[in-house]
């Protein structure tokens, strides 16, 4: 049973609005974004359940690209099809894209003390949201002794041996142990509609990804440099195709690719701004793209942003249906069960470092984070009110106390 075009368009507009709002308030990086998504789409909107959400997170962790944007893209696809997927991407990315493009165009002053105070408050908001997500996901996915052990051990390993290879190794090992020793005997409840993507279309998307990577790796520089858009698109697409572990990892890849074309000061400014604005850190591409194409900065920002996001999003689109179809296999369910527990450990490790370690710097900030956590957990205060507290009231308190 298919939805009418009018119904699908209406759903896509809903997706666009919800993700645009989240794109305006989602500070704190990928781990925080996943907390926002869970609270909004699982608990409030009920567009999917915890099992489905955990599977989307697990899939995004196995693929290169912007993890939180991939999860949002998949949520939009599940709810409103292909149009909904792109609506989710546009809505969530647009606020930070516009902010970073504006900075690249007008370079506003960034040395005002109040800016640092606002950012410190937003970091505390991220602590509260991620802590809430970790607690809820721990209760959902870590009900048995083996899943609790996997979550704790995963967090300890990631805290003790930080790095992309360790993150991938922990997830793969958890999946392998679950596959081999903890096969499930019952079907996991899933709201995923069957056959939402055709295999041929999936292979075409994968082929396109391969072509994107080949363009930059195989074609000679003399050929690429003849086409201005390709010269800009290719290095960003390569970075988006190879990065694992979130927005922070894309920065050294981009610096290696375009480091000679921008100054260290410009690159570090973009890095700092990408952490300060809401939404995905991958939108640093908007800032860099505008700088690299000064004659047409808006076009440059669009090309660079599409380049860095497109590979990861198309991989999600290509593999989403197969992932959730195979998720009903008993051994795969066992693997996913421990994989979800490892994801909880990953989020716990991210909560401790770098989110809490960079946000909680003294007793006052620790009490402020605890206060917000109590408001969210006990009184179910909405994110908008928490944003007001941490982005306005908390900076004012710090300013007055000096």
Angle in degrees, CA 234, 236, 237, rounded to 5: 65
Answer yes or no: is pLDDT of 196 > 60: no
| Confidence at residue 177, expressed as pLDDT on a 0 to 100 scale | 94
Q: How confident is the model at residue 1 (pLDDT cuts 50, 70, 90)?
A: very low
Q: For residue 230, what are its two tokens? A: 């390709």
Question: When comparing pLDDT for 271 and 324, which is higher?
Answer: 271
Q: How many helices (H) and strands (E) does the chain have?
A: 19, 0
Residue 45's contacts (CB-CB under 8 Å, 6 or more residues apart) are 18
* Cα dihedral 366, 368, 370, 374 in deg (nearest 10): 180
Contact 231, 261 (CB under 8 A): no
| Confidence at residue 92, expressed as pLDDT on a 0 to 100 scale | 96
Residues 137 and 14 in one domain: yes
CA-to-CA distance for 388 and 376, rounded, in angstroms?
13
pTM: 0.70
Residues 153 and 250 in one domain: no
User: Residue 285 burial (CB < 10 Å; 0-12/13-18/19+)?
Assistant: buried
Q: Which domain holds residue 387?
A: 5-192+315-401
Angle in degrees, CA 148, 28, 31, rounded to 5: 25
Q: How confident is the model at residue 204 (pLDDT cuts 50, 70, 90)?
A: confident
Residue 166's contacts (CB-CB under 8 Å, 6 or more residues apart) are 157, 158
- Lowest-pLDDT range of 12-16, 126-130, 131-135, 181-185: 181-185
User: Residue 341 burial (CB < 10 Å; 0-12/13-18/19+)?
Assistant: buried
Mean pLDDT across the chain: 81
DSSP per-residue codes, 359-383: H--SHHHHHHHHHHHHHHHHH---H
Question: When comparing pLDDT for 229 and 96, which is higher?
Answer: 96
User: For 6-25, what is the mean pLDDT?
Assistant: 90
DSSP three-state, residue 295: coil
- Lowest-pLDDT range of 216-230, 301-315, 325-339: 216-230
Residues 17 and 99 in one domain: yes
Answer yes or no: is pLDDT of 71 > 60: yes
Answer yes or no: is pLDDT of 185 > 90: no
Percent of the chain's residues with pLDDT above 90? 26
CA-to-CA distance for 180 and 175, rounded, in angstroms?
9
Question: When comparing pLDDT for 64 and 152, which is higher?
Answer: 152
Number of Cβ within a 10 Å radius of residue 106: 7
**Which residue, 265, 287, 313, sits at the end of a domain?**
313
SS3 content of the chain, % helix, strand, coil (to 5): 80, 0, 20
**Which residue, 288, 313, 338, sits at the end of a domain?**
313
| Confidence at residue 206, expressed as pLDDT on a 0 to 100 scale | 64
CA-to-CA distance for 153 and 256, rounded, in angstroms?
34
Answer yes or no: is pLDDT of 363 > 90: yes
DSSP tag of 187: P
Residues 252 and 268 in one domain: yes
Residues 103 and 222 in one domain: no
User: For 310-322, what is the mean pLDDT?
Assistant: 84
Residues 34 and 165 in one domain: yes
Q: For residue 144, what are its two tokens? A: 């048995």
Residue with tokens 């666009």: 16
Percent of the chain's residues with pLDDT above 70? 78
User: For 215-241, what is the mean pLDDT?
Assistant: 70
Residue with tokens 């165009």: 105
Domain count, the chain: 2
Residues 252 and 374 in one domain: no
Cα-Cα end-to-end distance for the chain:
62
**Which residue, 313, 348, 378, sits at the end of a domain?**
313
Residues 29 and 126 in one domain: yes
Answer yes or no: is pLDDT of 190 > 60: no
Neighbour-count burial for 246-277, b at 16+ CB within 10 Å, e otherwise: bbbbbbebbbebbeeebeeeebebbbebbbbb
Read off the pLDDT of residues 241-281 as tens digits, 9 standing for 90 and up.
766 555 655 665 676 667 667 776 677 667 767 767 888 98
CA-to-CA distance for 387 and 393, rounded, in angstroms?
9
User: For 319-326, what is the mean pLDDT?
Assistant: 73
- Lowest-pLDDT range of 7-16, 66-75, 101-110: 101-110
Q: How confident is the model at residue 195 (pLDDT cuts 50, 70, 90)?
A: very low
CA-to-CA distance for 39 and 377, rounded, in angstroms?
11
Answer yes or no: is pLDDT of 19 > 90: yes
Residues 16 and 121 in one domain: yes
Answer yes or no: is pLDDT of 192 > 80: no
Residue 137's contacts (CB-CB under 8 Å, 6 or more residues apart) are 38, 50, 54, 340, 343, 344, 347
- Lowest-pLDDT range of 247-251, 342-346, 364-368: 247-251
Q: Which range among 43-47, 59-63, 75-79, 88-92 has the greatest average pLDDT?
A: 88-92
Number of Cβ within a 10 Å radius of residue 337: 26
| Confidence at residue 193, expressed as pLDDT on a 0 to 100 scale | 46
Contact 278, 96 (CB under 8 A): yes
User: For 207-212, what is the mean pLDDT?
Assistant: 68
Residue 86's contacts (CB-CB under 8 Å, 6 or more residues apart) are 76
| Confidence at residue 145, expressed as pLDDT on a 0 to 100 scale | 93
DSSP three-state, residue 87: helix
CA-to-CA distance for 147 and 322, rounded, in angstroms?
25
Residues 229 and 259 in one domain: yes
Residues 307 and 319 in one domain: no
Residue with tokens 């984070």: 369
Answer yes or no: is pLDDT of 290 > 80: yes
Residues 235 and 178 in one domain: no
């Amino acid at each position: 049973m298919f939805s009418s075009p009018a119904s699908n368009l209406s759903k896509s507009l809903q997706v666009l609005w919800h993700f645009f709002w989240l794109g305006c308030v989602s500070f704190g990086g990928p781990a925080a974004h996943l907390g926002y998504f869970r609270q909004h789409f699982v608990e409030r909107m009920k567009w999917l359940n915890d099992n489905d959400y955990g599977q989307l997170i697990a899939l995004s962790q196995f693929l290169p690209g912007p993890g939180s944007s991939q999860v949002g893209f998949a949520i939009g696809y599940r709810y409103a099809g292909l149009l909904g997927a792109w609506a989710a991407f546009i809505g969530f990315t647009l606020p930070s894209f516009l902010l970073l493009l504006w900075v690249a165009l007008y370079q506003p002053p960034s040395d005002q003390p109040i800016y640092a105070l606002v950012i410190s408050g937003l970091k505390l908001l991220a602590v509260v949201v991620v802590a809430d997500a970790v607690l809820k996901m721990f209760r959902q996915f870590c009900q048995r002794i083996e899943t609790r052990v996997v979550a704790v051990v995963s967090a300890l390993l990631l805290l003790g041996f930080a790095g992309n290879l360790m993150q991938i190794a922990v997830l793969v090992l958890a999946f392998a142990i679950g596959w081999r020793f903890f096969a499930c005997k019952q079907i996991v409840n899933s709201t995923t509609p069957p056959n939402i993507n055709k295999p041929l279309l999936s292979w075409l998307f994968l082929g396109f990804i391969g072509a994107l990577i080949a363009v930059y790796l195989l074609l000679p520089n003399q050929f690429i440099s003849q086409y201005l858009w390709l010269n800009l698109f290719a290095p960003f697409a390569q970075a988006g195709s190879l990065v694992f572990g979130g927005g922070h990892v894309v920065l050294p890849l981009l610096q290696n690719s375009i480091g000679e074309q921008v100054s260290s000061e410009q690159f570090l400014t973009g890095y700092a701004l990408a952490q300060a604005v809401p939404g995905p850190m991958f939108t640093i591409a908007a800032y860099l793209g505008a700088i690299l194409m000064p004659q047409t900065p808006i076009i440059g920002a669009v090309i660079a942003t599409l380049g860095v996001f497109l590979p990861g999003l198309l991989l999600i689109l290509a593999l989403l249906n197969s992932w959730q179809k195979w998720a009903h296999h008993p051994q795969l369910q066992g693997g996913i069960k421990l994989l979800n527990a490892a994801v909880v450990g990953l989020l716990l490790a991210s909560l401790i470092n770098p989110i809490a370690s960079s946000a909680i710097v003294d007793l006052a900030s620790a009490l402020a984070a605890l206060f917000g956590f109590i408001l969210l957990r006990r009184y179910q205060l909405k994110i908008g009110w928490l944003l007001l507290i941490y982005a306005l009231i908390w900076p004012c308190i710090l300013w007055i106390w000096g």
